[in-house]
A = this chain, B = another copy of it.
Amino acid sequence: MTKRDAICETALELFAEKGIEATTTREIAEKAGAAEGTLYRHFDGKDDLAQWLYQRCAHQLEETLNEAAEYASSPPARLEALVRGVFNFYASKPASCTYLLSARQSGLREDDADEALPLPLRRFADALDAGMQDGTFRDAPAPLMAGWILAMVQQTVRSLKADALSIAPQAAIDRTVDAALRLAEAPLA
């Protein structure tokens, strides 16, 4: 593990835990066992580091979602796989997941501006669109609904992290999957 990696991992944890602004470069360096200047050899500054980490987390999630949805044959199966994929992402990389979701509403994802949607959202919207085409899902603006589902998942993750649930984590996940499908599915007839 190089110093650079140590700095990245430490920064990710601190950013996820207390936010970017509340984390100082000194704190990062100290916890990473590196000198403060080392951070600046590898990044242009704290903001650059935050940006780079955001990109990395986005790519990690992207990959996780791609793998998760790879073998889903139907739109509902794909939607379920995506939702479970986010939870898996959270389970395997909690700091990345927390940071990514927390950064969603701060001014960090500027350079996704060329995309209509941030990348993970796009995956959800695509699955919804496919389901709308074949009639499995109800007709609705896919980006809006994708946003809802992601927001729900994020809310469940927050509850899991806060340990504020009266039910088992797995049950919360299953219920979230169920809720997402219920949101998307077309009325019976």
Answer yes or no: A155 CB below 8 A from chain B CBs: yes
| A143 and B164 form a contact (CB under 8 A) | yes
Q: Is the interface of A mostly helix, strand, loop or mixed?
A: helix
CB distance from A173 to the nearest CB of B (A): 11
Task: Compute how far the CA of A7 lies from the CA of B102 in the bound complex, rounded to whole angstroms.
Answer: 28
Residues 61-80 of A at the B interface (beta carbon under 8 Å) = none
- Of B151, B165, B182, which one neighbours A155 at CB under 8 angstroms? B151
CB distance from A184 to the nearest CB of B (A): 10
In the complex, the 3 A-B pairs of residues with the closest C-beta atoms, listed nearest first: A151-B151, A151-B155, A21-B21
Chain A to chain B contacts (Cβ below 8 Å), 11 pairs = A19-B106, A144-B159, A144-B167, A144-B172, A147-B156, A147-B159, A148-B156, A148-B176, A151-B155, A152-B152, A182-B183
